[in-house]
Every structure is written in C-alpha cells, then in structure tokens.
C-alpha cells in the first residue's frame, strides 16, 4: 500500500505547501508548471517514503545505492525539478526525451505536453526503468514510453524531439543528444565543468562553421552522476601521498603531480582578502570565476578521521582550491564582527605560497569588482574537432565528444 491511499489529505496539503514555497522563492514562475506540480502526487512515485521526506522542498530522495553506498538513482528535490522544468519550456504537443528515468519527472512532462505530445524516458538501469514503467502505469501515465538503454547511443524509433532533458549529472554532451534535437530545440542538462555542476538550458544555433549549443541559463545544482559510456570520474591527487588531503581534478591531473609532494612541509600562509559577502548571497559566479581564471583549479576534501590540521577548510568535504606547480591553495571564510557577513581568505602551502595566495586573492577581488551580482558565463558546446580559432572563450574545456567554452558576457 502506498502513501497515496493512506494520507491523501495530508499529502495534498504538503504538496501545495511545497509549491507555495517554490512560487515565493521564484523557482516556479509559470502557471503551467505550478499546476502540474500541484496535480501529480509526488509521494506516489516514491513508495515507502515518509510524507515529510517526500515533500521536503530542497532534498532529493535516494532510490538506489551500490554495495559501497554510492548513490546510483534518486528522485530530485522539488526545487530542482521545478527549476529544470522552467528551463525546458515544454509546451503542449511537444515531443520530449528524458534521459535518466524515475517516473515522477516523466509524469510532469506528460502533463505539460498533453494528449497531443509525446514523452520518452530512458535509463541504462533495468531496475530503474521497470520501477518507472510500473509507477507511471499505476498512476495514469501509461502513454509515456519507457526505454532501457544507454542514452549516449541512438534511441530506436525516436525521431526528432523538441526538448532533451537530462536528469543525471553529465560530464560530456553526447553527440546523439543534439542530433535528435530539432532546429531551435532545447537541451537541459546538469553539466559538470571543472568539478562544478550547473543545470544549463541550451539552444541549438547554426553558426558560420556549423551548429553549436549556447546557454540561455545556468543554475547551481547537484545530481547523481551519469552511468554508461559517457560516465566520467574525477581524478584524485593525495597530497604528500597520504589520504588526509585529497585534491579532485575534473579534467586531468597536473602535468607533474609529484611537484606537490613537499608542499605540506612548508608553513601555511594565510591571507584575508577583504572580499565580504552576505550569509545567504549566491556565489555561483565566484566559483566560475575561479574555474575560469585559475588553470590548476580543483576542489579539496579532507578525511576527518585522518585530519592533523595541516589544512583548515571550513567545509572539509568540499573547498574551492587550485594548484600551481609545487604550491596549492584553498579558500576559507570567517564571520565578520557584525556576524551578518563572511570574509574570504586564502590558505596556501608550498615554496611559492605568498605569491600564489596573492594570485588567488586577485581573482576574488576582480570578481568582486566586475562579476559579483552579474550574469553567469555564457557556456557554448562545440563538436570535439572544432579548432581553437572558431571558439570565442575565456576558458575552453576539452572533453571526449565536445569542447565546452566559458566566456563572460560583455560588461
């Protein structure tokens, strides 16, 4: 028995409360998405989940893990689902391909496209697709076509679609996603760039040298990573050869990672930048500024069981960091005297600690002066064989199937 029959009144109340919160926060702006998120019983697609967890506005529900506890499948938080549905701009009569199936999002899409439209949802895991097929049938969405396949390969009998929505974290853009997209169609994908994930809404544009994708919006998000042929793991560099300090690189390790072996034998240099932000201020553009400006950008994690205090990040699981030759740096914060703001600082270890701290601090100060509160970088995706002279960019990230360019909009 599901929660649908046990507590229908309470479920409806909680669902409306979630939608009210998302409207107030600006995550839902269109009446169509508000209507479908009020209508579709979210809890029915997460059986055996307590109602308060099913209707947590900002928390995903994990539906499958491997033997090591690694998350393999989840139902995204309502906030993330609303955000991506707004980005997708699905209209009645459209044909939509969803990559990464769970059932709930496909039900939302089926409501948005209506009887004249079509939704195909694909997942590589047969356990996930069997579950999605069963739940969609049980709750009146049997017209959704559920396919078990690696979505990096062509989907049989699919044809062109108006929207491709990817609901698993992607490191690369598979060529078939754009090949299946109608001219002027929209691709919404949680794309990982230099370790930072953004839900990016792309439109396909035909340029002088051929078609490419250009971002319309890019919003912070987090997702269970893609499986199959387009899966990609970050590479981990253990500083000084111990598991205490790990630097994670999304696009390959430094040319000579052993240059960092002695970095922790130097005294830690600490620099406070006087870059101050509000406690709830978004730092998405600050993250991107570091990723674009620092060639050795990475993230740092500290094993709490082995922590000796060599480094002191505020968040031991995730700190923005960078490497230059034999020295590494990471960001820290501290509360201001009024306890209403935080100031950014830089810690560096290595023989060139002071110089590198100044370099990283300059990136933060430049962000404060020219990027803070402004638009995100424009993200463009080109085929992998596109030459440098055809890509306008402040930073180009080479992947297997694509070249991703990041460019700040003109002031």
Please name the residues in contact with 58: beta carbons below 8 A apart, sequence gap of 6 or more. 77, 78, 79
Q: Are 93 and 119 in contact (CB under 8 A)?
A: no
Pairwise CA distance, residues 254 & 263, whole Å: 14
Q: Are 22 and 75 in contact (CB under 8 A)?
A: no
Q: What phi and psi values does residue 97 have, to the nearest 5 degrees?
A: -105, 120
Helices (H) and strands (E) in the chain, counts: 10, 19
Q: What phi and psi values does residue 149 have, to the nearest 5 degrees?
A: -170, 160
| Residue owning tokens 């991506």 | 84
**Residue 76 a catalytic site member:** yes
| Helix/strand/coil percentages in the chain, nearest 5 | 30, 35, 40
Nearest to 102 by CA among 153, 47, 154: 47
First to last CA, the chain: 57
Pairwise CA distance, residues 246 & 244, whole Å: 7
Of 76, 101, 215, 376, which residue is the catalytic one?
76
Please name the residues in contact with 396: beta carbons below 8 A apart, sequence gap of 6 or more. 388, 403, 404, 405, 406
Helix axis angle, 31-39 relative to 8-24, nearest 10°? 160
Q: What phi and psi values does residue 378 have, to the nearest 5 degrees?
A: -80, 130
Secondary structure (DSSP) of 282-338: --HHHHHHHHHH-TTEEEEEE-TTT--SSS--SSSS-EEEEEETTEEEEEEEEE-TT
Cα angle value 222/227/231 (rounded, 5°): 85
Pairing of strands 161-166, 181-193: parallel
For residue 290, what are its two tokens? 């570091």
- DSSP H or E segment with residue 18: helix 8-24
CB atoms within 10 A of CB 368: 18
Would you name the residues annotated as active-site residues?
Answer: 76
């Amino acid at each position: 028995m599901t929660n649908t029959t046990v507590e229908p009144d309470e479920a409806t109340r909680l669902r409306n409360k979630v939608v009210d919160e998302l409207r107030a926060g600006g995550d839902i702006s269109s009446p169509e998405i508000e209507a479908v998120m009020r209508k579709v019983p979210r809890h029915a697609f997460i059986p055996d989940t307590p109602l308060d967890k099913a209707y947590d506005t900002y928390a995903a529900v994990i539906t499958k893990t491997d033997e090591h506890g690694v998350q393999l499948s989840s139902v995204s938080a309502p906030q993330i689902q609303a955000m991506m549905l707004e980005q997708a701009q699905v209209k009645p009569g459209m044909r939509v391909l969803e990559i990464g199936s769970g059932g709930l999002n496909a039900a939302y899409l089926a409501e948005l496209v209506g009887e004249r439209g079509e939704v195909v949802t694909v997942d590589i895991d047969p356990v996930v697709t069997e579950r999605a097929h069963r739940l969609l049938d049980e709750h009146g969405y049997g017209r959704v076509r559920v396919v078990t396949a690696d979505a990096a390969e062509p989907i049989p009998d699919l044809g062109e679609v108006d929207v491709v929505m990817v609901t698993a974290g992607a490191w690369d853009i598979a060529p078939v996603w754009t090949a299946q997209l109608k001219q002027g169609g929209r691709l919404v994908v949680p794309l990982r760039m230099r370790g930072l994930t953004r839900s990016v809404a792309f439109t396909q544009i035909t340029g002088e040298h051929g078609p490419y994708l250009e971002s319309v919006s890019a919003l912070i998000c987090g997702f269970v990573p893609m499986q199959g042929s387009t899966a990609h793991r970050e590479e981990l560099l253990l500083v000084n050869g111990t598991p205490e300090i790990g630097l994670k690189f999304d696009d390959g390790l430094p040319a000579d990672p052993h240059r960092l072996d002695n970095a922790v034998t130097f005294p830690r240099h600490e620099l406070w930048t006087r870059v101050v932000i509000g406690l709830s201020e978004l730092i998405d553009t600050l993250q991107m500024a570091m990723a674009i400006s620092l060639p050795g950008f990475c993230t740092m994690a500290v094993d709490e069981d082995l922590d000796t205090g060599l480094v002191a990040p505020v968040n031991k699981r995730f700190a923005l960091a960078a490497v230059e030759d034999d020295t590494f740096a990471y960001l820290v914060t501290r509360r201001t005297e009024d306890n209403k703001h935080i100031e950014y600082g830089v810690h560096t270890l290595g023989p060139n600690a002071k110089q590198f701290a100044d370099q990283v601090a300059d990136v933060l100060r430049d962000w404060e002066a020219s990027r803070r509160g402004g638009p995100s970088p424009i993200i463009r995706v080109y085929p992998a064989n596109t030459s440098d002279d055809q890509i306008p960019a402040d930073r180009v990230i080479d992947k297997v199937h694509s070249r991703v360019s990041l460019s700040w909009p003109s002031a």
